[in-house]
Amino acid sequence: MTEGFLDELVAICGPDAVLREPVQLLTYECDALPHLRETPAAVVLPTSATAVQGVVRACARARVPFVARGHGTGLSGGALPVPGGVVISLARMNRVLHVDLPNRQVTVEPGVTNLEITRQVAPHGYYYAPDPSSQQVCSIGGNVAENSGGAHCLKYGFTVHHVLEVEAVLPNGDLVRIGSPCADAPGPDLLALIVGSEGTMAVVTKVVVRILRKPEAVQTLLAAYDSLSEAGTAVSEIIGAGIVPAAVEMMDALALRAAEAAVHPNFPPADTVLIVELDGPRAEVEELFATVQEICRRTGATVVEVAATDEHRMRIWRGRKAAFAAMGRISPNYYVQDGVVPRTKLPEVLGRIRALAERTGLGIGNVFHAGDGNLHPLICYDESVPGQAQLAEEVAGEILTYCVEAGGSITGEHGVGADKRDYMPRMFSDTDLAAMQLLRDAVDPHRLCNPGKVLPTPRLCGEVPGPYRRHPVEHAGLGERF
Amino acid sequence: MASSENGRAALPADAIDGVLPRRVMEPDGPTEVAEVLTRATAEGWSTIVRGRGTKLGWGRAATTVDQVVSLARLVSPLVHRDGDLTATAGAGVRLADLNARLGEKGQWLPVESAFGDTSIGGLIATNESGPLRHRYGTPRDLLIGVTLALADGRVVKAGGTVVKNVAGYDLGRFISGSLGTLALVLDATFKLAPIPKSTTTVSWTFDSAGQLGAAVASLAASQLEPAAIDVRVEAGTSAPLHRTLLAGFGSSPGATTAQVQACCGLVPGGHVASGDEEFRIWREQVELPWRGGATVRFGWLPSALTDVVGLVESLARADVLCAFVGRAGVGAGLLRLDGTAAAQARAVERLRQSAVVRHVVVLEGSRELKASVDVWGAPVPWHQPLAALKRSLDPAGILGAGRGPL
């Protein structure tokens, strides 16, 4: 990168918005997958779409790769910098621009956090539905890139179902609006290609999201089981009864132990805990909730704990949502995996994962969205034990093989990023991947927009395996993992 | 054009906007579809894909069509994974047949088509939807995986058979609504929903657009969760004006009753219908825009409903008969225009000049109407990247025969 190019970035963004000192760049070396690290040549912190456009145009002219970054909470290295490239941090574009309650739409800049949207509209009885566990800190721009889900996406869908329009800078520097606040824009759904493209097709500078009316009633229960298969049967029966819960979550014994140590949710002792939440009109929730309770008891629940108050409900969810971070309390290191299986294959795949844990001697905690078959095995290891980090990575890869063999996916919500691009051929043929590359090249012919993500590249010799390592921010005690 | 065992000469019934294709290809499997496309790209033959042919009128008037590729014979797979609430169907499977199969286990693909023969491929190509869109979205919202045949004959998959999956680009959702201009759908996998055990519909009629708009606003602001909120306006220069609001509820019997009671309390004067009467009300609502004349689609911001109804009524006071049905919660509607092509064209222009509605597209219309207005209107602001994507996927430009939208 030339001095002239850097001067151009300063001219576009201002002197306080271009970082290039090594100590300043440190924060941007990785996202929440800290074993993948690269140092960018510069980081820019633009405050307007025009500045983002200026930066992208400059990069396009000079053929410098660029990576958009929200708040860096991604779990697949989607915001991993490119050596010699520019990181475009959208953290300073964090204004809520317009709240339109009659049309149930909110317009925000990409650096606004997911939860901030709900905070803005909650006093009026509305909320933004996608709720990734990191929702307090993750950015809406990152959610758009990753097509984020959350515990409630079984009923309410993903980010793609809740974004109506974006303003985005394309890799050639064009600033365009894609999608519409009005329904039925004609033709193919380009917005759906941008959402979930993991920052490889555009840098989003504005987002119009749909908000929902808060449901009249919410009821949550926690059921304790002596075995995973009983809990699995309960889920099947709930779905079989024609009930679509707002959320169905499961945690196994190891995950429960970790959650208890970290946030003391006071869960009953169990091999497996099932959390079921229903929401909707009061009469419907009451009627169906009684059915769910009956199913839980019939399928062998030892305890069925109904959240009697909002506080109780929050405590149950705190125990669930803290589960990842909590693994740190019981294991020196852990690796978070994200895979999907058809819901009916859950018992079979979880059985294979348990056998794998026994065979390798590594503890594997399971926290998962049981309603949609999205697994989050947490693989415990100790990096001070020679070979364990490597083993943990192999175990994580093995689990993805189980998911694909069961007809599932290598990622349900964390994305492919840099982390899983080499697993893509397990799900897709060379022809499938070539078609995806074709689309990407149509939008980004010079391959400058977040290169090295999503689609596979040949694995390099001596590539460092990927166990969990503490982020510099965690090291410094400034933040905790979600 | 070379003969093929899956090809035949076109019959009058194969005509599109009065243009007879040179040939009709009826491949009976994905490999055969791929072969047809490989040849077409090599030869530069303009190609129009056909499912069951119910919406072939959509798009600009065709000029020359080298071949129609019918996917009606792709009736497999037809797989229902009821425990997973998903199903996979070949492009030629009829929506009605798929839903009959899913219904055996109390599930459905909750989208309506105005046309009894609509195929799965056609559903995705047009992204057609009905009143249930209020609760369930349009077909693209329910699509979780596809197998596509690209213009050069490559067969590719995207997505999968699980409801939650972010691996790779979502080609299926992207090509939804592209009317066969980007790729051909060979099969599709959808997430399903349980069929509600009980349904009831409340209907009202109103003396003014303002009253109708106010009733919709109060329903939308409430915590009621209808499956559909639809409006209907039938108006004409001489005919009496009818303004109707419909709210459909579906849940367990007890919960449906409770919601209907709450709804009637919120907006008094409603008529409560269930069973056959309710079925007929919604069938009428779905089919009304397609009974002759021209059919125009557009969207609006939901809060502008009163103005939209006012606009439709002002068109009717001019020189056309109008039948308007709209998804009031979403802000999407279809308008049937009965009258001369010139009067229809004037109405379309007035809609396009209005600040109240957007994305005004003529779906069905006579050749005469299509000759006087561009059915698609002004290009979308994101047309350039779309055009680049089209060039990549269909470098010879064979798909769609220039009928748009790409």
How close, in Å, is residue B15 to chain A by CA atoms?
23
Q: What is the pLDDT of residues A216-250, one digit of tens each?
A: 999 999 999 999 889 989 998 999 899 999 999 99
User: Are A86 and A41 within 8 A, CB to CB?
Assistant: yes
Q: Which of B81, B107, B147, B165 to probe the A interface (max A CBs under 10 A)?
A: B165
A151 pLDDT band (50/70/90 cuts)?
confident
Residue A152 has pLDDT above 80, yes or no: yes
Q: In the prediction, which pLDDT does A481 show?
A: 47
- The predicted structure's pLDDT at residue A471: 55
pLDDT score at A272:
95
User: So what's the pLDDT on residue A460?
Assistant: 43
Cα-based angle A193, A198, A203 (whole degrees, multiple of 5): 80
Residues above pLDDT 90, as percent of chain A? 84
pLDDT of residue A199: 98
Residues of chain B found within 8 Å of residue A435, distances taken between Cβ atoms? 148, 150, 154, 156, 158, 171
User: Residue B34, Cα to own-chain centre: how many angstroms?
Assistant: 26
Q: Which of A131, A155, A189, A244 to mutate to probe the B interface, most B CBs <10 Å?
A: A189
Summary mean pLDDT of chain B: 96
Whether the complex's predicted ipTM is more than 0.95 is answered with yes
Tell me the mean pLDDT in the region A63-75.
97
A467 pLDDT band, cuts 50/70/90, is very low
Across the interface, whether the CB atoms of B162 and A190 are under 8 A apart is answered no
Query: What integer pLDDT is reported at residue A466 of this predicted model?
Result: 45
* Residue B84 to residue A342, Cβ atoms within 8 A: yes
Give the confidence band of A264 by pLDDT, cuts at 50, 70, 90.
confident
Which pLDDT belongs to residue A459?
44
Output phi, psi for A254, to 5 deg: -65, -40
- The one-character DSSP state at A345 is G
Q: According to the model, what pLDDT value does residue A464 have?
A: 43
Q: How many CB pairs under 8 A join A and B?
A: 273
pLDDT the model gives residue B241: 86
Look at residue A359 and tell me whether its pLDDT is greater than 90: yes
pLDDT tens digit sequence for B260-312: 999 999 999 999 999 999 999 999 999 999 998 999 999 999 999 999 999 99
Predicted confidence (pLDDT) at residue A102 exceeds the cutoff of 70: yes
Looking at residues A111-123, what average pLDDT do you find? 98
Average pLDDT over residues B11-39: 96
pLDDT of residue A322: 81
At B83 the pLDDT is 93
Q: What is the pLDDT of residue A262?
A: 87
pLDDT at A270: 94
**A347: preceding bond cis by omega (within 30 degrees):** no
Closest residue on chain A to B223 (Cα)? A216
Residue B2 pLDDT exceeds 60: no
Per-residue pLDDT of A403-442, as tens digits, reads: 999 999 999 999 999 999 999 999 999 999 999 999 999 9
Q: Do B389 and A443 touch (CB under 8 A)?
A: yes
Instruction: Name residue A365's beta-bridge partners.
Output: A378
pLDDT score at B4: 56
Lowest mean pLDDT among A115-119, A223-227, A255-259: A255-259
Beta-ladder partners of A336: A378
Residue with tokens 């989003």: A204
| Chain-chain contact of A242 with B327 (C-beta, under 8 angstroms) | no
Name the pLDDT band for A123 (thresholds 50, 70, 90). Answer: very high
CB atoms within 10 A of CB B269: 11
Asked whether B157 and A428 are in contact (CB, 8 A), the reply is yes
What pLDDT, on the 0 to 100 scale, is given for residue B5?
Answer: 66
Cα–Cα dist A189/A180, whole Å = 11
Instruction: State yes or no: pLDDT of B171 exceeds 70.
Output: yes
Q: State residue B238's pLDDT score.
A: 65
Report pLDDT digits (tens) over B46-105: 999 999 999 999 999 999 999 999 999 999 999 999 999 999 999 999 999 999 999 999
Give the best residue of B382, B393, B406 to mutate against chain A (max A CB count within 10 A). Answer: B382
Surface of B (201-240) touching A: CB under 8 A: 217, 220-225
Please report residues of B whose CB lies closer than 8 A to that of A159. none
Residues A147, A184: contact at Cβ < 8 Å?
Answer: no
B194 at interface of A, judged by CB pairs closer than 8 A:
yes
Give residue-wise pLDDT tens across range B245-263. 999 999 999 999 999 999 9
> Would you call B388 and A442 a contact, using CB atoms and an 8 Å cutoff?
yes
pLDDT reported for residue A470: 55
Residue B315, pLDDT > 80, answer: yes
For residue A28, what are the contacts with CB-CB under 8 A and spacing of at least 6?
A19, A40, A43, A69, A72, A81, A87, A89
Average pLDDT across chain A, whole number: 93
Secondary structure element (H or E) that encloses residue A242, with its range:
none
pLDDT of residue A35: 87
Residue B186 has pLDDT above 70, yes or no: yes
The confidence score (pLDDT) of residue A468 equals: 46
Partner residue opposite A372 with nearest CB, options B106, B140, B163: B163
Tens-place pLDDT, residues A196-221? 999 999 999 999 999 999 999 999 99
Report the gap between the CA of A414 and the closest CA in chain B (Å): 8
CB contact under 8 A, A181 and B258: no
Distances (CA, A) of B41 to A261, B50, B146: 63, 17, 22
The number of residues making up chain A comes to 482
Q: For residue B338, is pLDDT > 80?
A: yes
